[in-house]
A and B are shown apart, each in its own frame.
Chain A
Amino acid sequence: MLHSVIQKNNYQDSINLMLLTNSINGLEGVTQGQVMMATDANKDILKAAGLFTDEVQGAGANDMAIVVESDDANILESVVEEVKRFLSNLSGSKKGDGIESVDNWKDALEAMPDANLALLSIPGIYAAGEIEKALDSGLHVFSFSDNVSLEDEIRLKQKAHEKGLLLMGPDCGTGVLSSVPLAFTNVTNPGNIGIVAASGTGIQEATTIIDRLGGGVVHAIGTGGRDLKEGVNAQTMIDAVVALEQHAPTDVILVISKPPAKKVRDNVMQLLQSLSKPVVALFLGEKPEAHIGNVSLAYTLEEAAKIAVDISNGDDVKANYNEPIDFAVDQPLAAGKTVKGLYSGGTLASEAATLISDALGLDNVKGEEGYILNTQGFQVMDLGDDVYTQGKPHPMIDPEVRVNKLKEVLKDESTGIILVDVVLGYGAHADMAAALAPSIKSALDEAQASGRQLYVIGSVVGTDNDPQNYAQAVQTLKDAGVIVESSNARAIRLALKLMGRELQVADKGRVEYTDAKIEVPAPGEKVLELLNSVPRVINIGIQSFTESITAFQGKALQFTWRPKAGGNQKLIRILNELEKREEEINASNDKIVARLIESQPFLVDARPAKEVIAELNTGEKVILHAGPPIKYENMTGPMKGSVIGAMLFEGWAADQEEALRQLDNNEVKFIPCHHVGAVGPMGGITSANFPVFVVENKTDGTTGYCIMNEGIGEVLRFGANNENVITRLKWMRDVLGPVLGQALRTLEEGLNLNVMIARAIAMGDEFHQRNIAASLVFLKEITPAITLLDIDQKDKADVIQFLANTDQFFLNIMMATSKAMVDYARKVQEGCVVTTMARNGENFGVRISALGDEWFTGPVNTPDGLYFTGYSAEQANPDIGDSAITETVGVGGMAMIAAPGVTRFVGLNGLDDAQNISEEMQRISITNNPTWTIPNWNFKGATLGIDIRKVVETGITPIINTGIAHKEAGVGQIGAGTVRAPLVCFENALIAYAKSLGINVEE
Chain B
Amino acid sequence: MTNRSLTSAQSSVSSYLWQFIKQQPIIQARVHSIFSNGFNLKVRDRLWFVGKGEDNLSAIGLALGAADFERITSGLFVGAQVKLVPLFSRSDEQLDLTFTCYIRPMPITVTVYSIRVVDLSIPQITLDTLNRSTLLHQLEKAKVREQSGFTSALLEKVYTDFVDGPDPFSVASLQPLIGAGVGLTPSGDDFLQGIILFERIAGGPATVTDLTRQQLQNRSTTDVSLAYYQALFDGYANMQWINLCKAIESEDEQQIAAAIKKNQAYGATSGNDSLMGVLTFLRKARADLKTPKEADFAEFSLSTRSCFAVVPGHVKK
A532 with B106, Cβ < 8 A, contacts A189-B81, A190-B80, A248-B2 known:
yes
Within 8 A of A (CB), among B1-52: 1-2, 24, 26-28, 30
0/1 interface trace, chain A 452-465, chain B, CB 8 Å (1 if under): 00000000000000
Q: Judge whether A88 is part of the interface by a CB distance below 8 angstroms.
A: no
Complex contacts, B261 vs chain A, CB 8 Å = none
Picked from A191, A553, A554, the residue with its CB within 8 Å of the CB of B81 is A191
Complex contacts, B30 vs chain A, CB 8 Å = 214
User: CB distance B81 to A192 under 8 Å?
Assistant: yes
Smallest beta-carbon distance B232→chain A, Å: 27
Smallest beta-carbon distance B124→chain A, Å: 37
Q: Judge whether A179 is part of the interface by a CB distance below 8 angstroms.
A: yes
Which of B97-105, B144-152, B238-246, B283-291 faces chain A? B97-105
CA distance A146 to B102 in the complex (A): 32
User: CB distance A532 to B105 under 8 Å?
Assistant: no
A190 with B107, Cβ < 8 A, contacts A216-B102, A248-B100, A249-B83 known:
yes
Within 8 A of B (CB), among A311-347: 312-314
0/1 interface trace, chain B 113-151, chain A, CB 8 Å (1 if under): 000000000000000000000000000000000000000
Which size class do A's interface residues fall under?
20 to 34
Complex contacts, B26 vs chain A, CB 8 Å = 251, 314
Q: Judge whether A281 is part of the interface by a CB distance below 8 angstroms.
A: no
A180 with B105, Cβ < 8 A, contacts A248-B100, A533-B1 known:
yes
CA distance A314 to B106 in the complex (A): 22
Smallest beta-carbon distance A223→chain B, Å: 22
User: CB distance B83 to A251 under 8 Å?
Assistant: yes
| Least CB separation from A551: chain B residue | B104
Within 8 A of B (CB), among A484-539: 529, 532-535
Determine chain B's interface SS by DSSP, over half rule: loop
Smallest beta-carbon distance B279→chain A, Å: 42
Smallest beta-carbon distance A20→chain B, Å: 33
| Least CB separation from A314: chain B residue | B28
User: CB distance A218 to B105 under 8 Å?
Assistant: no
Q: Judge whether A939 is part of the interface by a CB distance below 8 angstroms.
A: no
CA distance A251 to B100 in the complex (A): 11
CA distance A190 to B101 in the complex (A): 9
Q: Judge whether B56 is part of the interface by a CB distance below 8 angstroms.
A: no
User: CB distance B28 to A218 under 8 Å?
Assistant: no
A249 with B104, Cβ < 8 A, contacts A190-B81, A192-B28, A314-B26 known:
no
Complex contacts, A180 vs chain B, CB 8 Å = 104-105
User: CB distance A179 to B28 under 8 Å?
Assistant: no
A533 with B83, Cβ < 8 A, contacts A192-B100, A214-B30, A248-B2 known:
no
Picked from A179, A189, A192, the residue with its CB within 8 Å of the CB of B106 is A179
User: CB distance A189 to B79 under 8 Å?
Assistant: yes
Smallest beta-carbon distance B143→chain A, Å: 44
User: CB distance A179 to B81 under 8 Å?
Assistant: no
User: CB distance B109 to A248 under 8 Å?
Assistant: yes
CA distance A552 to B77 in the complex (A): 14
Q: Judge whether A207 is part of the interface by a CB distance below 8 angstroms.
A: no
Smallest beta-carbon distance A425→chain B, Å: 16
User: CB distance A552 to B28 under 8 Å?
Assistant: no
| Least CB separation from B85: chain A residue | A248
Smallest beta-carbon distance A149→chain B, Å: 35
CA distance A249 to B1 in the complex (A): 11
CA distance A532 to B100 in the complex (A): 13
Smallest beta-carbon distance A7→chain B, Å: 39
Smallest beta-carbon distance B130→chain A, Å: 44
User: CB distance B83 to A179 under 8 Å?
Assistant: no
CA distance A248 to B1 in the complex (A): 11
User: CB distance B106 to A534 under 8 Å?
Assistant: yes
Picked from A249, A533, A553, A554, the residue with its CB within 8 Å of the CB of B109 is A249
User: CB distance A179 to B109 under 8 Å?
Assistant: no
Smallest beta-carbon distance B187→chain A, Å: 31
User: CB distance B105 to A553 under 8 Å?
Assistant: yes
Within 8 A of A (CB), among B187-214: none
User: CB distance A552 to B100 under 8 Å?
Assistant: no
CA distance A216 to B24 in the complex (A): 21
Complex contacts, B79 vs chain A, CB 8 Å = 189, 214
| Least CB separation from B106: chain A residue | A178
CA distance A249 to B83 in the complex (A): 8
Which residue, A189, A190, A191, has most C-beta atoms of chain B within 10 A?
A: A190
User: CB distance A552 to B104 under 8 Å?
Assistant: yes
A192 with B83, Cβ < 8 A, contacts A249-B2, A312-B28, A529-B1 known:
yes
Picked from B1, B24, B103, the residue with its CB within 8 Å of the CB of A190 is B103
CA distance A214 to B104 in the complex (A): 16
CA distance A180 to B104 in the complex (A): 7
Complex contacts, A553 vs chain B, CB 8 Å = 104-105
Picked from A216, A251, A314, A532, the residue with its CB within 8 Å of the CB of B1 is A532
Smallest beta-carbon distance A585→chain B, Å: 40
CA distance A216 to B80 in the complex (A): 9
Picked from A179, A251, A312, A529, the residue with its CB within 8 Å of the CB of B105 is A179
Smallest beta-carbon distance B31→chain A, Å: 11
User: CB distance A178 to B1 under 8 Å?
Assistant: no
Complex contacts, A214 vs chain B, CB 8 Å = 30, 79
CA distance A553 to B77 in the complex (A): 15
Complex contacts, A313 vs chain B, CB 8 Å = 28
Within 8 A of B (CB), among A176-191: 178-180, 189-191
User: CB distance A178 to B81 under 8 Å?
Assistant: no
Complex contacts, A529 vs chain B, CB 8 Å = 1
Smallest beta-carbon distance A13→chain B, Å: 26
Complex contacts, B104 vs chain A, CB 8 Å = 178-180, 190, 552-553
0/1 interface trace, chain A 14-47, chain B, CB 8 Å (1 if under): 0000000000000000000000000000000000
Picked from A191, A314, A534, A554, the residue with its CB within 8 Å of the CB of B102 is A191
A218 with B83, Cβ < 8 A, contacts A248-B109, A249-B109 known:
no
CA distance A495 to B92 in the complex (A): 58
Complex contacts, B106 vs chain A, CB 8 Å = 178-179, 532-534
Complex contacts, A190 vs chain B, CB 8 Å = 80-81, 102-104, 107
A178 with B105, Cβ < 8 A, contacts A192-B100, A216-B81, A251-B83 known:
yes
Smallest beta-carbon distance B48→chain A, Å: 15
A249 with B107, Cβ < 8 A, contacts A190-B80, A533-B1 known:
yes
User: CB distance A534 to B105 under 8 Å?
Assistant: yes
0/1 interface trace, chain B 54-94, chain A, CB 8 Å (1 if under): 00000000000000000000000001110100000000000
CA distance A216 to B28 in the complex (A): 12
Complex contacts, A215 vs chain B, CB 8 Å = 81
Which residue, A189, A535, A553, has most C-beta atoms of chain B within 10 A?
A: A189
| Least CB separation from B98: chain A residue | A248
User: CB distance B107 to A178 under 8 Å?
Assistant: yes
CA distance A192 to B82 in the complex (A): 9
| Least CB separation from B25: chain A residue | A314
Picked from B27, B80, B107, the residue with its CB within 8 Å of the CB of A218 is B107
Smallest beta-carbon distance A115→chain B, Å: 15
Smallest beta-carbon distance A194→chain B, Å: 11
Within 8 A of B (CB), among A531-559: 532-535, 552-554
| Least CB separation from A555: chain B residue | B105
| Least CB separation from A313: chain B residue | B28
| Least CB separation from A312: chain B residue | B28
User: CB distance B80 to A532 under 8 Å?
Assistant: no
Picked from B27, B80, B100, B105, the residue with its CB within 8 Å of the CB of A249 is B100
0/1 interface trace, chain A 217-234, chain B, CB 8 Å (1 if under): 010000000000000000
Complex contacts, A189 vs chain B, CB 8 Å = 79-81, 102
User: CB distance B1 to A218 under 8 Å?
Assistant: no
Give the 9 A-B residue pairs with the shortest CB-CB distance, closest first: A553-B105, A190-B102, A178-B106, A249-B107, A534-B105, A191-B81, A532-B1, A532-B2, A216-B81
- 5 A-B pairs with CB atoms under 8 Å apart are A180-B105, A189-B79, A218-B107, A248-B2, A313-B28
Given contact pairs A179-B103, A554-B105, a sample of 16 additional A-B residue pairs in the complex whose CB atoms are under 8 Å apart = A178-B104, A178-B105, A178-B107, A179-B102, A179-B105, A179-B106, A189-B81, A190-B80, A190-B81, A190-B103, A190-B104, A190-B107, A192-B81, A192-B100, A312-B28, A553-B104
